Chains A and B, each alone.
Chain A
């Protein structure tokens, strides 16, 4: 025995004197702890792996959740798959754009496949819209809230299928022409805001009929209607600004405009073809740059986020695999190193279950220590991300789920080597000791 390798033990250490012969308890932490003390480096490395895995896992899952939550946020548009957007650009010297747009709109609305159509300088889901300030205090431009601006005519609420929960829609005589940003109105006959804006302006009260000022420009208008929901930006997620939008009664006459039309149910394809032909029939001094259903615009807007979520998911899976293999490798080594001790215990009457539980408990102990370190690491990493890249704070539920995941992973990874350990026959020990 004198020349036997002392693998982790202090000089002079000879074997298994600390192993309890019967070990009937489920958790034999005494012997485990003393054995871990002798395998410090290996145990520390496993704990560190568990910790890093947990930290990466929590933050990655959180990012995946955030990215997918972003793409699930409702736009406020009813049945997006029936609404399509036509990007229209006028070519050359364009003449009276407002008159041309009115002609186009009348023709689109007259198409049998189309329910209604409107025009705006932007549309939902395409990207962040122009944001302006809206407040009940005309002298204080910085009060109130910022809100996305939709320039619309009296057909917008119908076309988009917005739910009017108070007040009224615009009437045709509310609408005035705006040549890009070149016209300036000091007042408008009305503005329609989302419920989120109404709440931001006056949390408890009723805003209907009250006059707001819109900045920059200090334009005034009474609030004539409140709609349930209309997204300000597809990328605002669940921030308080996500649903803050306002509709201004401006017929947008500019070099680039968006016609937004709602097709009759099931007739989207034909409606799109008919609309394109009709617009080119009216005038060829235009370029229809694009034509897309809103459902497709939505897919495109979030394509980048989806691919990030996918990559993060794959990284997480590989990560768990690597960690599991690491645990399998090191525990297997421990098992072969301790074959003799295991044999002695078996000879002294320990059951296979006892041996199995011993290795499972040992791993649980290491993984638990790793998880505690991992939770600290995860919070630290989240703080760093928060500061340098600006994401939200990591909710504690991710730490809990992540910790459970790595503990289960540890138990599963150790199962195979532990089973091998438990199948060591007592005879081996008897022979070689």
Chain B
């Protein structure tokens, strides 16, 4: 019986070619637009460290003057060096990455090349294990190297390809600014999306949240020793003339601290520790404000920073409005198509077809429209994503269709055309049986 229903449905699908083509086109356009934007959204809002992100936490305390304080105010997004160093030194977390970003002049081993600037991250060795960076060659520097401010470095794949043709460069040296560094590790391709460990948003919503990872990784202590400047600084108080923003006493926030806390219990204890740290700092006269700490897990941190760009959220809204329109459109056309054969349905009803069967057959026919529309929609999605990759956006290279999105394309196409067909199918199944055949 089911196969008979399907056969009837398929035969129905094949009739009124122009109208059917219009319906398939409408479904395809709606699916193409919404799946393109949905895929972009899916990629951009993804979890950069699945399974682990819940255990990583971003630390904030509040060193700002009490003048502009009000309860609930968001503390500075970064830490002063004093706080970052003190919290790091306390070693209360199972793993911790202290860090800041900057840029350095890289001198190519070939003396004929002019030096160039590369983005750099100054951090502690746990950075690599906490964030599961893939190593191509070598490994992170040791805790001892960190403590002794050794001139060692890890470089990214892009830089290794550029300077060493992708060969194992562990043990080679590179001049960074005026200092010679020894390479201890080379990363493999590493492109977390978003670049979660250093989120930043300018006043216009522009950010580097989807940029590529850095090319140069140096020990935090070594970078501080060299006086390397942070790329984002917010000074929250006055400092004496001549004091550098990287000085230990400078009231400038630019350092970041990530900690790994494996259980909710650990997280709770760490939060309590931040409170008691703030108490101590206020007692010492460094902090003015009431305790104002944040310990956001990585997912909370991404959420709080609203990483998905405004334009993408806007496009998502428009794409779904468009899909809805295409469905109403398809619904109207399906209705017309079904009602055109009212006479035939009346006859079939008279010959004993149940309402249920008529309803089912027409619903299957609607689903078939969705299935075929889904195929064309998939093509449009692939084209749409190609267009997105041509755009001047940081995430251009990571926007690709994955299996889950592929499955969703068909699920969405079939379910939406079935929904569009509900009302028409209900309408035609109520056609009264034709008991006389006088004029047909």
Contact = CB atoms under 8 A, between A and B. Distances in A.
Interface of A: 1-8, 11, 41-42, 45-46, 48-49, 52-53, 55-56, 59-60, 63, 89, 91-93, 127-128, 131, 141-142, 180-184, 216-217, 233-236, 255, 284, 287, 289, 300, 303-304, 307-308, 311-312, 315, 318-319, 322-323, 325-326, 329-330, 332-334, 336-337, 381, 384-385, 388-390, 432
B371 interface: no
Interface string B224-255: 00000100010111111111110000001000
Contacts of A1: 438-439
Given A3-B439, A52-B325, A91-B115, 12 more contacts: A5-B346, A41-B335, A49-B332, A182-B242, A184-B240, A216-B238, A304-B392, A315-B33, A322-B26, A325-B26, A333-B340, A388-B313
B202 interface: yes
A60 B318 contact: yes
B318 A287 contact: no
Closest 5 CB pairs of A and B: A235-B204, A333-B336, A45-B332, A5-B342, A326-B329
B105 A323 contact: no
B73 interface: no
Interface in B286-315: 310-311, 313-315
Contacts of A289: 117
Contacts of B51: none
B436 A329 contact: no
Interface stretch (B132-140, B141-149, B209-217, B426-434): B426-434
A11 B346 CA distance: 13
A49 B325 contact: yes
Contacts of A311: 315, 387
Nearest to B317: A385
A93 B178 contact: yes
Contacts of B178: 92-93
B126 to A, nearest CB: 29
Contact of A287 (B117, B236, B434, B440): B117
A390 B336 CA distance: 41
28 contacts: A1-B438, A3-B440, A4-B439, A7-B342, A41-B335, A48-B328, A52-B321, A56-B318, A56-B321, A56-B325, A91-B105, A92-B177, A128-B206, A141-B68, A182-B243, A216-B236, A216-B238, A287-B114, A289-B117, A311-B315, A322-B29, A323-B329, A326-B22, A333-B337, A384-B317, A385-B314, A385-B317, A390-B310
B178 to A, nearest CB: 4
Interface of B: 19, 22, 25-26, 29, 33, 67-68, 105, 114-117, 177-178, 202-206, 229, 233, 235-245, 252, 310-311, 313-315, 317-318, 321-322, 324-326, 328-329, 331-333, 335-337, 339-340, 342-343, 346, 387, 391-393, 423-424, 427, 431-432, 434-440
A336 B229 CA distance: 77
Given A7-B342, A311-B315, A287 B105 contact: yes
Contact of A53 (B205, B233, B325, B337): B325
Contacts of B424: 41
Nearest to B423: A41
Nearest to B313: A389
Given A92-B178, A181-B235, A233-B203, A5 B439 contact: no
Contacts of B387: 311
A258 to B, nearest CB: 15
A89 B435 CA distance: 91
Contacts of B313: 388-389
B337 to A, nearest CB: 8
Contacts of A91: 105, 115, 177
B331 A45 contact: yes
A4 B435 CA distance: 10
B106 to A, nearest CB: 10
B204 A3 contact: no
Given A3-B436, A333-B339, A304 B328 contact: no
Nearest to A45: B332
Contacts of B325: 49, 52-53, 56, 319, 322-323
A42 B238 CA distance: 70
B239 to A, nearest CB: 7
Contacts of A332: 336
B392 A319 contact: no
A389 B310 contact: yes
Nearest to A53: B325
Nearest to B226: A93
Contact of B204 (A128, A307, A329): A128
Contact of A42 (B68, B245, B336, B346): B336
A233 B204 contact: yes
B329 A322 contact: yes
Nearest to A70: B204
Nearest to A131: B203
Given A5-B343, A287-B105, A181 B245 contact: yes
Contacts of B252: 181
A326 B313 CA distance: 28
Contact of B391 (A48, A128, A307): A307
Contact of A304 (B115, B203, B311, B317): B311
B241 A127 contact: no
Contact of A389 (B105, B314, B440): B314
Given A49-B328, A307-B391, A329-B332, A184 B322 contact: no
Contact of B393 (A48, A131, A142, A304): A304
A304 B235 CA distance: 31
Nearest to B336: A333
A45 B335 contact: yes
Given A45-B328, A49-B329, A182-B244, A3 B177 contact: no
B156 to A, nearest CB: 19
A312 B331 contact: no
Nearest to B333: A329
Given A41-B427, A127-B204, A315-B318, A308 B332 contact: no
